[in-house]
Amino acid sequence: MLEYRIDRRSGMATYLQIVHQTKQALRLGLLEPGDKLPTAREVVEATAINPNTVLKAYRELEREGLVEARRGLGTFVRRSLGGAPADSPLREELADWARRASAAGMERDDVAALFTAVLDQHFKGDDT
Closest CA to 42 of 32, 29, 51, 53: 51
Stretch that binds other proteins, among 37-45, 68-76, 100-108, 118-126 (CB under 8 A): 37-45
Query: 37 and 67 in contact (C-beta within 8 Å)?
Result: yes
Please calculate the CA angle 70-74-77 and round it to the nearest 5 degrees.
Answer: 80
Q: Which stretch binds other proteins (CB under 8 A): 33-41, 71-79, 89-97, 107-115?
A: 33-41
Sign for the CA dihedral angle at 120, 60, 11, 81 comes to negative
Helix or strand holding residue 74 (H, E): strand 74-77
Nearer to other proteins, 11 or 105 (CB): 11
Contact call for residue 1 and other proteins (CB under 8 A): no
Tell me the CB-side half-sphere exposure of residue 67, using CA atoms within 13 A.
28
Least separation in angstroms between residue 127's CB and other proteins is 11
> Looking at beta carbons only, is 54 or 77 nearer to other proteins?
54
Q: Which of residues 9-28 bind other proteins (CB under 8 A)?
A: 11, 13-14
Judged by CB under 8 A, the chain residues 42 through 61 that form the site for other proteins are 44-54
* Nearest distance, CB of residue 122 and other proteins, angstroms: 22
Closest to other proteins by CB, 102 vs 116, is 116
